[in-house]
A and B are shown apart, each in its own frame.
Chain A
Amino acid sequence: MNSELTVRSVAREINSARRAHFFDVNDKLTVVVKGYFIVAIVGIIVDLITNSSVLIKIDKPFIASFIRYIPTITLLIYTAALSVGLSAGSKGGPITVFRSEMRLVFLAGTDHPELLRRKYLKLIFLRSYISILVGVVVGALLYHLNNGYKLLPAVAMAIIAYTASNIYIGASVVGNLTRIRTEFVYLITIVLAVAVYISTVIGNVSAIASLGGVSLFAVSRFPTEALIVPILALAAVVAGFMLVARFELEPIERRSELISKLRFAVALRDIRGVISLSRALGDGGYTPRRLPGLLMNVTMRPRRSAIYLSCSNFYNWRLRRYIRLVLTVSVAVYAIDLSIAKATVDGLIGIPFVVLAGLEMSDTVGSLVDHPNQFINYPVEDGWLLSRSLLFPMVALLILASGINLIIFAATHLVAIEVSAPIIATMAISATFAGGFAHYRGSKGSSASMITMVPEAAAFAYLLDALPVVFANSWIIAVINTKSAMTHLQVPYSEAISTSSFLLVVPLAIWAYISNGRVVRAE
């Protein structure tokens, strides 16, 4: 009566019925918006690729140094895949089963190990196709850029991408079954990364570096030990197939729900939602049931000022968040320094990190706006809520970014400190403002809170909200492009350009102030 055959046929019918309702759920407007963004992103990628041969100067020394470091880069990719896989597994990954499916299908009289295995196989095939495709495209591109020099044929890159994908899945299974703690994942990652680094210092002929040497296939230095990692990764995936039936369902469901909300936040370009949900995913979805540090403090000592609350939240952070912030700011600062010294493309890499740093530092704003009666001891109508609550985060980010810039200068002498310091300071100030504004608009200033489901049409409102963030960071491109143009015209570089970028903060602050007042009045 309740045979597995029946269950399979019903499961197929469910999918068929869902497909039949596709156009009822996704309206034309949404499809247009999504299509527009896909085209825009593809356009940017194509633009970068077609201009990359100009931005990256490829010559014999570059190729020689590239070959030298390929095994190391490959091993670092593998290390990253292992780290991310273990972490995802410990939170319930790699399989995704959304709550509706879990409740309707998995909790029915189905053979759920069989269902999990099927999901696992689907995941493997999907990731294999994607990774091999990405590997082939990257390999072919690098081959093309090198004017026919057989440095990285598509097949080698495909093997690397496929191996990294397998490592991720295999590690996820291990992480899921062992519930490995995040601290151990960090430790394993650091140990492996240090081992790879030491191997690089010794030289790429060392045993460890050879493991990543699969990419040297094209230059006929294909060490046999380079195949060890791909074979081990494949074995891990096969072993995972045997073990996947032991997965506990509830962590899978919880992680899947967070992923579902994360996708929704990404679809709406709700950056605040993306950050918050990423954090929740990092915590395995357990912590949202606890009271956040900010609320606890305020419950005990209510009616503190916004400045105090933004400070108290800062010292209540978890260690991993400090580490993440330092890494984010370091990458942003280094990328900006590189862009000033060398190529514009580095600045493009740095921009997302600038945005992330600003959002990390200014997340108190959302809580303050969500609960003004509990937290604010002065009238919010004065329009200074945003400014006050951002004062401490702004100073903190300014000090942090400037300190990191000093360290980078001491280590590399990449850019004169009098040139980079004003740019980095401007970056810190505008990033905090932009992040705070995004958080503010993501709260009561906007039409929906962080994870509230809103009609698709509201996506446009979110897009408009994202504009300040875009503008706040566009000055980086402006400054870098000006510098590039001046270099091209053989005009000496002037610190005045970077100093004047401070001026770009002013319109943002005015915008935030005016909008803040308007929104509060509207409420």
Chain B
Amino acid sequence: MANDSKKGTSSAISVTDVVKKYDGGTILDKVSFKVSQGSITVLVGSNGAGKSTLIKAICGLVQPDSGNILLFGAKAGSREARIVTSVAFDEPSLYADLTVFEHLTFSARLSGIEDSDERLNELLDKFEIGYLSERLPRGFSRGQRQKVALSMALARSFKVLLLDEPYVGLDSVGKSALVDLVKEARSQKVAVLIATHSPELVAIADQMITLSNGKVTYTGEPKLDRIER
């Protein structure tokens, strides 16, 4: 699944003193933490704490005003960093004019995987959306769209997996499949970072980071009682 790192570093994701301001308000305030290879880290915090912005900054969608984000030694947003990263956002966004299977195929091919049918069918089966594979996403429910978006993220080749609120809209089948796939990624030495409020995901994590008003207030062992603090 994962490529070898060009620059061997102990941390897969390294976030140092990251600051991001929007329209006068500070969304991320000197955020620092590390995520190591083969681990699951959950990012928790109340709404507006800065979780999504942080995920966007790590995947290169948002540029921090100051501070550094490195993924296997490569600067976030650089081509080297994006090659090793796969991300699924809280709001699934699909082409209206591509079928589900085309979405997955192109996602895999853009990360260099040419012969992916077996893996893609496996993902579709796990999320129980195989019957949708030849359909356009028009009229899909929120949960169905979320399953497609997660499948797209997992169809890629990656060493860093970023998931922003992946449980939103998922049914029990989807949640269970996601947990299995995330664990599978960990076993393949992938660094997984999940922004979530879900106790199920916190329960399988190796590390927990809490954000409050853009600041890191806790880093350490996952504790269910720290969710939403």
Contact = CB atoms under 8 A, between A and B. Distances in A.
Interface of A: 1-2, 6-7, 10, 13-14, 17-18, 21-22, 24-25, 99-105, 107-112, 248-250, 253, 284, 286
B82 A108 contact: yes
Given A21-B136, A25-B136, A249 B61 contact: yes
Interface string B63-79: 10000000000000101
Interface residues of B, number: 37
Nearest to A289: B48
Contacts of A7: 110
B22 A25 contact: no
B218 interface: no
B96 interface: yes
Given A7-B110, A10-B110, A21-B98, A107 B138 contact: no
Contacts of B186: none
Nearest to B102: A17
Nearest to B99: A21
Nearest to B103: A104
A22 B97 contact: yes
A70 to B, nearest CB: 41
Given A24-B136, A25-B136, A250-B61, A104 B110 contact: yes
Given A248-B62, A249-B60, A250-B62, A105 B97 contact: no
A99 B84 CA distance: 20
Given A22-B97, A25-B136, A107 B61 contact: yes
Nearest to A287: B23
A286 B87 CA distance: 23
Nearest to A114: B79
Nearest to B110: A108
A101 B102 CA distance: 13
B59 A107 contact: yes
B187 to A, nearest CB: 23
A24 B138 CA distance: 10
24 contacts: A2-B111, A2-B112, A13-B109, A17-B102, A21-B97, A21-B98, A21-B99, A21-B136, A25-B136, A25-B138, A99-B93, A100-B95, A101-B95, A104-B103, A104-B106, A108-B110, A109-B84, A109-B110, A110-B79, A112-B60, A248-B62, A249-B60, A249-B62, A286-B22
Contact of A18 (B62, B87, B98, B112): B98
Nearest to A6: B112
Given A18-B98, A104-B152, A108-B110, A286 B61 contact: no
Contacts of B102: 17
Contacts of A103: 87, 89, 93
B211 to A, nearest CB: 17
B79 A107 contact: no
B91 to A, nearest CB: 8
A156 B97 CA distance: 42
B37 interface: no
B83 interface: yes
CB-CB nearest 8 A-B residue pairs = A109-B83, A108-B110, A2-B112, A99-B93, A1-B112, A21-B97, A18-B97, A100-B95
B156 A108 contact: yes
B107 interface: yes
Interface centre among A10, A107, A249 (most CB of B within 10 A): A107
B79 A112 contact: yes
Contact of B111 (A21, A102, A108, A248): A108
Interface centre among B84, B89, B110 (most CB of A within 10 A): B110
A101 B110 CA distance: 12
Contacts of A249: 60-62, 77
Contact of B79 (A21, A101, A109, A248): A109
B56 interface: yes
Nearest to B53: A250
Contact of A14 (B56, B79, B98, B136): B98
B94 interface: yes
Contacts of B77: 112, 249
Interface string B115-138: 000000000000000000000101
B26 to A, nearest CB: 14
Contact of B94 (A24, A100, A107, A284): A100
Contacts of B98: 14, 17-18, 21
Nearest to B23: A286
A503 B77 CA distance: 63
Interface string B1-45: 001000000000000000000110000000000000000000000
A2 B108 CA distance: 11
A175 B78 CA distance: 23
Given A13-B106, A107-B85, A284-B23, 19 more contacts: A10-B109, A14-B98, A17-B97, A21-B97, A21-B98, A21-B99, A24-B97, A25-B96, A100-B95, A101-B95, A102-B93, A104-B95, A104-B103, A107-B61, A107-B82, A108-B111, A109-B82, A249-B61, A286-B23
A2 B95 contact: no
B97 A10 contact: no
Nearest to B79: A111
Contacts of B96: 25
A109 B60 CA distance: 11
Contacts of A286: 22-23
A240 to B, nearest CB: 19
Nearest to A257: B93
Contacts of B62: 248-250
A13 B93 CA distance: 19
A14 B107 CA distance: 10
Nearest to B63: A248
Contacts of A1: 3, 112
Interface in B156-195: 156-157
A100 B110 contact: no
A109 B111 contact: yes
Contacts of A101: 95
Interface centre among B22, B95, B111, B156 (most CB of A within 10 A): B95
Interface string B187-216: 000000000000000000000000000000
B137 to A, nearest CB: 10
A100 B60 contact: no
Interface centre among B56, B97, B102 (most CB of A within 10 A): B97
A322 to B, nearest CB: 21
A153 B142 CA distance: 56
A17 B104 CA distance: 13
Given A2-B111, A286-B22, A286-B23, A107 B87 contact: yes
Contacts of A107: 59-61, 82, 85, 87
A13 B106 CA distance: 9
Contacts of B138: 25
B83 A2 contact: yes
Nearest to A252: B61
